[in-house]
Amino acid sequence: MIVKRRQMNASVPAMAMGDIAFLLLIFFVILARARDDSHLQWKPAEGVELVRPATMNASVVIDKYNVTHLNGREIPISTLSEELKVILGENVAGRRTVLLKVHHEVTAVYFEPVIEAISEAGGELHHILEEYKQR
Amino acid sequence: MKLKRTKLLVEPPASATSDIAFILIVFFLVCASVEPDKGRAQTLPRSEPEPQKDKQSQNIEVELTRDAVIMNGNPLPKETFVKTIILKLADKAREEDKIVAVKSRKEVPYSHWMDITGIIEDAGGVITLQLEEEQTVQVQ
């Protein structure tokens, strides 16, 4: 007598797909937030004829508390130049763009050493500003 | 004679709630990620520890205070500064003569600094920063 083997059904339940996608999305959002600087508080200064940078190799933020951050991570100004040199490496001109996001009320005593450090590291400075609005 | 009303199904299907949540999250993420990413590029010469004084004296010197501009020692209103810098840079042919040394006092806000350096660059000037070096003097 031949006994037929019972066939096992191994399909993934389609009901759970949405939940899986939801959890994956939250995972990637948390991962991305640790790397970017969107959580920092700063208000850009105004400018005219603004352009979008072609490349972005590093991002430096001076927030409204006068604290300097490199790629979302707090950094002392004394080590900024060295860290930027490591990030920019041997990149050719045009691929050494450093975005500088400075809170509009930050004073020269804080932002000038940062500009100097970017210049010393051979970074191509791109100030991030807000389009001037006529009031 | 009484007619019985047929009951309508008003409960949304539970299997769709996770899809709705997913779509809602994507919507809020897109809304939240609108950050300013436009600005102005600025070319600065590499910093030199000891500037050449004989060359610097020929260049235009701009000093910034909290809300004013001083050009070659003369305080100027913003409108006059715009006209003067355009005139001064217009008759300079060589790139090295177009260098404008910008010296800022400690209390100068970034918005004012960007405003004035923007005017200089639009007039064809090349910005260099004049920073005060910190010196430690030991008193015996």
Domain boundary assignment for chain B: 58-129
Higher pLDDT, B5 or A43: A43
Instruction: With CB atoms and an 8 Å threshold, state whether B109 touches A130.
Output: no
B36 has a pLDDT exceeding 80: no
Task: Answer whether residue B133 shows pLDDT above 70.
Answer: no
Residue A59 lies in a domain: yes
**Burial (0-12, 13-18, 19+ Cβ within 10 Å), B53:** exposed
ipTM of the complex as predicted: 0.76
Report the sign of the C-alpha dihedral through residues B116, B118, B123, B128, in that order: positive
Length of chain A equals 135
Q: Which residues of B touch A111 (CB under 8 A)?
A: 110, 113
- Say how many domains are in chain A: 1
Interface A-B, measured as beta-carbon pairs within 8 A, has a size of 122
In eight-state DSSP terms, residue A51 is B
Q: In this structure, is residue A117 part of a structural domain?
A: yes
- B134–chain A nearest CA distance, Å: 12
Interface contact A120, partner B, CB < 8 A: yes
Residues 44-73 of A with CB under 8 A from B: 44-53, 62
Residue B114 has pLDDT above 70, yes or no: yes
8 Å CB contact of B118 and A102? no
The answer as to whether A64 is a domain residue is yes
Evaluate whether residue A77 is within a structural domain. yes
Look at A38 and B109 and tell me if their CB atoms are within 8 Å. Answer: no
User: Could you tell me if A117 and A81 are in contact, meaning their C-beta atoms sit under 8 angstroms apart?
Assistant: yes
Residues 6+ away with beta carbon under 8 Å from B61? B71, B72, B73, B100, B101, B103, B130
Which residue range(s) make up the domain with A124?
46-131
- Residue B121 vs residue B51, higher pLDDT: B121
Q: Higher confidence at residue B127 or residue B133? A: B127
Token pair for residue A75? 């950094």
Per-residue pLDDT of chain A (135 residues; tens, 9 = 90+): 777 777 777 776 777 777 777 788 887 777 766 567 777 889 999 988 899 888 888 999 999 999 999 988 899 999 999 999 999 998 898 889 999 999 999 999 999 999 999 999 999 999 999 988 766
pLDDT band at B136 (very low <50, low <70, confident <90, very high): very low
Asked if the model's pLDDT at residue B139 lies above 50, the reply is no
Whether B109 and A102 lie within 8 Å, measured CB to CB:
no
Of A50, A107, A124, the CB nearest to B40: A50
Could you give the CA distance from residue B45 to residue B52 in angstroms, rounded to a whole number? Answer: 14
Confirm if B117 and B42 have CB atoms less than 8 A apart.
Answer: yes
Helix ranges (H only) for A1-135 are 17-33, 77-88, 108-120
Phi, psi of B129, deg, nearest 5: -95, 135
Report if residue A40 sits inside a domain.
no
Is the residue at A31 inside a domain?
Answer: no
Instruction: Calculate the CA A8 to chain-centre distance.
Output: 48
Fold observed for domain B58-129:
Nucleotidyltransferase; domain 5 (3.30.420)
pLDDT score at A30: 72
- Whole-number pLDDT of residue A27: 79
Burial class from Cβ neighbours inside 10 Å (0-12, 13-18, 19+) for residue B38 reads: middle
Within a 10 A sphere around the Cβ of A63, how many other Cβ atoms? Answer: 19
Instruction: Give the pLDDT confidence score for residue A78 in this predicted structure.
Output: 92
Tokens matching residue A124: 């191509």
Q: Which residue in B37, B44, B109 is closest to A104 by CB distance?
A: B109
pLDDT surpasses 90 at B113? yes
Mean pLDDT to the nearest integer, B3-7: 70
Residue type, B75: P
Helix (H, G, I), strand (E, B) or coil at B89: helix
Higher local confidence (pLDDT), A105 or B93 = A105
Question: For residue B33, how many other CB atoms are within 10 A of its CB?
Answer: 10
Q: What pTM value is reported for the model?
A: 0.73
Mean pLDDT of B8-17: 69
Return the percentage of chain B with pLDDT > 70, whole number: 70
Domain membership of residue A69 (yes or no) is yes
Residue B105 has pLDDT above 50, yes or no: yes
Q: CA of B118: which chain A residue's CA is closest?
A: A47
Per-residue confidence (pLDDT) for residue B44, from 0 to 100: 77
Query: Pairing relation of β-strands A97-102 and A58-62?
Result: parallel
A33: nearest CA in chain B?
Answer: B33
Query: What's the pLDDT at A132?
Result: 85
pLDDT tens figures, B79-92: 899 999 999 888 88
- Average pLDDT of every residue of chain B: 79
The answer to the question of residue A54 being in a domain is yes
